[in-house]
Amino acid sequence: MRVTIFGASGLLGKALMREWSGDDVIGLGSRDADIRDEESVREALAGARPEWVVLAAAYTDVDGCEGNPELAFRVNRDGAVSVARAAKEVNARLLFLSSDYVFDGKKTTPYETGDARNPQSVYGRTKAEAEIKLLELMPECCIVRTSWLFGTGGKCFPDTILKLAANRPAIDVVNDQRGSPTYVVDLARAVIRLCREHANGIVHVTNAGACTWFEFAVEILRGLGVATIVRPVTSQQFVRPAARPAYSVLSAESLRRLGIEMPAWQDALRRYLEERRS
C-alpha cells in the first residue's frame, strides 16, 4: 500500500513514520508541501500516487489560533480541503485528524460520533468546519477525532509538567477539565489499522479512561518519583485565551465496532515515560 503523510514532522507524524512498516510510506513536512498551497499539494500527490493520504498537519496551538484566526482557518480548514481535492484527483482515500474540541464540553457522558458539533474556540471551529467540508467533498473519507496528545519529539503536556517541576517546589494545574490523554504511539498504530482496513466515517480514537489535567499531572510526577507538589485550581483561576471544554471524553464505541481496543492512558503514560528515559 502506498501512503502519503502530511505533517510528518509533527508529534503524531513522527510516531506514524516510526510505527508504519510493510508499506510504501512518504512523509511530508511543511517544508516539503504547504497544505495552504493547493498546487504544492497536487504536485506532491501526483508524484507519489498514494492509495491513502493521512492528514496530520495542522495549526495546533489552541491559544495561538484564538489570536490568529485567519491563519488557523487557512491551515486547518482550507488546507484540509486542498488536500482532499488533491487526494480525490489521484483516487486516494483520506484520513483526517480532528479533535475533541469540536464539542462544547457540556455533556457528562462520553461524546458519540453523531453528537452535535458546537466548538467554543477558534481551533475547535476550524476542525469542525473542516470535518463538514471534507464529508461533503469525500463522503468516504475517515475522520479520526482524538484528544490530549502526548509523546516524545515535540511539545506536549507531560513534557511541560516535567520542565516546570524541575524548577518549582509546587505547580498549579486545572482540575475541572476532563478528557482522555492519548499517546501518539497508540494513536499511530490505530491510524495504521484504520487505513489497512479501509475505514470510513467518523471514528473516535483515544487511550481508554479519563482524568483531569490535575490528575494527569499527579500521575506523571508519581511515575518518575518527582516530589513537586501539584495543586488543583479551577479554569477561572487559570484563564487562557481559548475556551476549553469542561468535559471532552470521546466514546470508544466507534473504534470497538472496528475491532480495535486502545490501552488505558495510565499504561500509555508508563510507556511514554520509559521512552523518554531512553
How many domains is the chain built from?
A: 1
Domain assignment present for 118: yes
Domain assignment present for 227: no
* Average per-residue pLDDT for the chain: 97
Domain assignment present for 170: no
Domain assignment present for 241: no
DSSP states along 119-131? --SHHHHHHHHHH
Q: For 94-115, what is each residue's pLDDT tens digit?
A: 999 999 999 999 999 999 999 9
Between helices 38-48 and 79-89, what is the axis angle to 10°? Answer: 30
Confidence of residue 205 (pLDDT cuts 50, 70, 90): very high
Q: Tell me what pLDDT residue 228 has.
A: 97
Q: Tell me what pLDDT residue 79 has.
A: 98
Instruction: Cell numbers for 125, please give them.
Output: 471551529
Beta bridge partners of 95: 54, 142
Task: Say if residues 199 and 140 touch (Cβ distance below 8 Å).
Answer: no
Q: Tell me what pLDDT residue 20 has.
A: 98
Q: Tell me what pLDDT residue 199 has.
A: 97
Q: Tell me what pLDDT residue 216 has.
A: 98
Q: Is 111 a catalytic residue?
A: no
Q: What is the CATH number of the domain that holds 258?
A: 3.40.50.720
Domain assignment present for 36: yes
Set 123, 183, 247, 272: catalytic member: 123
Q: How far apart are CA 210 and CA 110, in angstroms?
A: 10
For the chain, percent of residues with pLDDT exceeding 70 = 100
Domain assignment present for 187: yes
Is the Cα dihedral 204, 205, 209, 211 positive or negative? Answer: negative
Structural domain boundaries, residue 102: 2-155+181-207+248-263
Mean local confidence (pLDDT), 188-200: 97
Q: Tell me what pLDDT residue 36 has.
A: 96
Q: How many CB atoms lie within 10 A of CB 89?
A: 12
Domain assignment present for 221: no
Q: Tell me what pLDDT residue 268 has.
A: 98
What are the φ/ψ torsions at residue 111 (nearest 5 degrees)? -70, 130
Confidence of residue 155 (pLDDT cuts 50, 70, 90): very high
Q: How many CB atoms lie within 10 A of CB 156?
A: 18
Confidence of residue 191 (pLDDT cuts 50, 70, 90): very high
Q: Tell me what pLDDT residue 204 has.
A: 98
Confidence of residue 183 (pLDDT cuts 50, 70, 90): very high
Radius of gyration, alpha carbons of the chain: 18
Q: How far apart are CA 132 and CA 65, in angstroms?
A: 19
Across 183-206, b (16+ Cβ under 10 Å) vs e yields bbbbbbbbbbebbeeebbebbbbb
Domain assignment present for 9: yes
Confidence of residue 116 (pLDDT cuts 50, 70, 90): very high
